[in-house]
Structure 1
Amino acid sequence: LAFQMRLDPMNIKLRELVKAGAIGQVGYIRRRHCLSVLFSEGFINGGTRWHIDPVANMGMFMDDASHAADFVLWVMGMPVSVSAEIGNTLNEVAADNTGVATYRWADGAFGTVMHSSVVWAAENTCEVYGDQGVIIQNHDDGPSTAFKPPHPVGLKLWTKETGGWEIFDFELPPQHGARISNVARHAVDFLKGEREPICTFAEGEQSSQMILGAYRSSQEGCRVTLPME
């Protein structure tokens, strides 16, 4: 499964910091992953129109929030419940274009996955808050990569021990498409038996449960236990 977030250097470093205990016990993680495609007539009416077909693609939250769900699964493990709101804002061209899902882990941590396909520009993509520090990541989705300020900061760490910010020097691509293109080489290497899978089938099933659970929560107006029966 080609979840490009697992191959991004900033995401890899962020996960390493969390796993190494750089910010202590995690209390909250937020991942925002957005697009501007539903403002584009070419996307809506061209060869990419299958994205907005509810039979082919269910909804844009299923299509794109699945990447963010896999990311928080990769960093935090499988959550035990989800509460969500998913629907349309700003236009009605897709089955849904915006959603917010709140997850809970067995250790008490909270997490939020947010997606919208009607976002022109952005900056912050991930926040992780722990009892010993904070990790902030910027410019790691389409809208935030396309429109960066003059001196963008991609990843930074604040710790209680230092009382200040450590900025990590990552080269940010001009467009998010460069990150997606990076998947191809890794996928080929996997098929040739030269690397482990980017994401296992079992992990793909778990992140799908996270998204399907969010849809059920939104439709039924209730918290949904994960994994679902």
Structure 2
Amino acid sequence: MIKFAIVGMGHIAKKHVEAINEADGAELVAVCDAAAERLEEYSAKYETYTDLDEMLRTNQDIQVVNICVPSGLHARLTKIVAEHRRHIVVEKPMSLKLEDSEEMIRIARENNVKLAVVHPNRFRPAIMKLREKMDQGVFGTMSHANATVRWNRGQAYYDQAPWRGTKEFDGGVLMNQAIHNLDLMLWFMGEVESVQAMAATRLRKIEAEDVAAAVVRFKSGALGVIEAATTIYPKNLEESLSIFGEKASVKIGGSNALFIETWDMEDGVEGEKESFNESIKDNPLGKPGHQWIIEDMVQAVQENREPIVSGQDGMAPVKLILAILESAETGKEVKLA
């Protein structure tokens, strides 16, 4: 059994607790949070700590640490964990600054530890089916892609904690909500060459953006359109990913990008879309994505290989988002080195 610990016992940590407990080959042995009151509900089952460095010094059984603190603290805690020679699973976004992402990758490599980033939407059944078709080359030459997140996050959501919606610790709709969708777009379409964008803070009383739109050019020559908002009234309307090529058109949509809405392929099978959607209607999420990430880290440690969603993978959407924000601020096209 690979022994895990979690640092940062806020809302997202509950998914990590459940995922570790359900994952094959994983065991949760300790939790850590600077706020002692957050540890009370876990004290009967796990060792509890209020200091990360102390936890890693005193508990030598821990092999992997899941970092679930506010995003602006990811780089600092990654450095601490890596220097204690423990493997790392870090929540999205990997960081809020490109130089922090690069430093996280470097420090993990130097200390010979594995670094995985939580992008669980890659493991949804509809997404995996699309990935299978993409790997078979059925799309031919790619035309363009569309990534859309039209969600509602009211003011009460941002008022839950003082760090929410800040540029230093949280980010806006791109870093916090749309980053999973952008990770998928990059996973299917490859690296971005340039971006032209606009962003605004229209309805929420926050420092970061609550709505953004961008057009990107991929290194392949294909184009992409991005729309992201937390201003949709009165509830989540849509999360979708559309991919278009010379021989295929696919849209995965719904309020959370779970179901195939368009599935047209030159050599497609009649009724394939309907059959697939029927097969997942009772459980469109499949095995929870966090559990996939945990089980993959277990195997990566045992097999001494890179995690499926590596630090480099985690850095890619951060790089794109920062370019979008730079373009929105300057009004100019931004080229990604």
TM-score class normalised by the smaller sequence: 0.7 to 0.9
Please say if 1:134 is aligned against 2:249.
yes
Deviation at 1:16, TM superposition (A): 2.0
The residue identity in structure 1 corresponding to 2:280 is E
Structure 1 residues 188 and 15, CA, compared in 2 at 3 Å: closer, same or farther? closer
The residue identity in structure 2 corresponding to 1:204 is G
Higher mean displacement: 215-224 or 101-110: 101-110
TM-score under structure 2 length normalisation: 0.56
1:112 and 1:129 mapped to 2: Cα distance? Answer: 12
Q: Contact 1:5–1:67 (CA<8 Å) still a contact in 2? A: yes
Q: Deviations over 1:172-201 (max 9, x none)?
A: 578x9x67x923323332443258524111
Matches within 5 A, 1:17-96: 17-37=133-153, 39=154, 41=156, 43-47=157-161, 49-96=162-209
Instruction: From 214, 218, 226, give the equivalent of 1:101.
Output: 214
Please say if 1:2 is aligned against 2:118.
yes
Structure 1 residues 124 and 34, CA, compared in 2 at 3 Å: closer, same or farther? closer
2:124 and 2:302 mapped to 1: Cα distance? Answer: 19
Q: Contact 2:149–2:238 (CA<8 Å) still a contact in 1? A: no
The residue identity in structure 2 corresponding to 1:20 is Q
Instruction: From 269, 293, 309, give the equivalent of 1:187.
Output: 293
- Name the SS of the counterpart of 1:82 in structure 2: strand
2:171 and 2:296 mapped to 1: Cα distance? Answer: 28
- Name the SS of the counterpart of 1:51 in structure 2: coil
Deviation at 1:34, TM superposition (A): 3.8
Structure 1 residues 12 and 161, CA, compared in 2 at 3 Å: closer, same or farther? closer
1:124 and 1:97 mapped to 2: Cα distance? Answer: 15
Deviation at 1:97, TM superposition (A): 0.6
2:280 and 2:206 mapped to 1: Cα distance? Answer: 35
Query: Hey, what does 1:117 align to over in structure 2?
Result: 230
- Name the SS of the counterpart of 2:198 in structure 1: strand
1:32 and 1:63 mapped to 2: Cα distance? Answer: 14
Instruction: From 171, 176, 197, give the equivalent of 2:280.
Output: 171
The residue identity in structure 1 corresponding to 2:164 is H
Q: Contact 2:124–2:289 (CA<8 Å) still a contact in 1? A: no
Structure 1 residues 134 and 100, CA, compared in 2 at 3 Å: closer, same or farther? same
Structure 1 residues 14 and 118, CA, compared in 2 at 3 Å: closer, same or farther? same
Please say if 1:13 is aligned against 2:126.
no
Unaligned runs of 5+ in 2: 1-116
Deviation at 1:220, TM superposition (A): 0.6
Q: Contact 2:144–2:243 (CA<8 Å) still a contact in 1? A: yes
- Name the SS of the counterpart of 2:252 in structure 1: strand
1:164 and 1:87 mapped to 2: Cα distance? Answer: 44
Structure 1 residues 6 and 96, CA, compared in 2 at 3 Å: closer, same or farther? same
- Name the SS of the counterpart of 2:164 in structure 1: helix
Query: Hey, what does 2:7 align to over in structure 1?
Result: none
The residue identity in structure 2 corresponding to 1:226 is L
TM-score under structure 1 length normalisation: 0.79
Q: Percent identity?
A: 20
Instruction: From 311, 320, 331, give the equivalent of 1:201.
Output: 311
Structure 1 residues 3 and 34, CA, compared in 2 at 3 Å: closer, same or farther? farther
Higher mean displacement: 57-66 or 7-16: 57-66
Higher relative contact order (CA 8 A, sep 6+): 1
The residue identity in structure 2 corresponding to 1:171 is I
1:30 and 1:127 mapped to 2: Cα distance? Answer: 5
Deviation at 1:9, TM superposition (A): 1.4
1:122 and 1:59 mapped to 2: Cα distance? Answer: 18
- Name the SS of the counterpart of 1:33 in structure 2: strand
**Aligned length, in residue pairs:** 212
- Name the SS of the counterpart of 2:288 in structure 1: helix
Structure 1 residues 187 and 4, CA, compared in 2 at 3 Å: closer, same or farther? closer
Deviation at 1:89, TM superposition (A): 2.9
Higher mean displacement: 77-86 or 11-20: 11-20
1:163 and 1:217 mapped to 2: Cα distance? Answer: 42
- Name the SS of the counterpart of 1:81 in structure 2: strand
Structure 1 residues 91 and 2, CA, compared in 2 at 3 Å: closer, same or farther? same
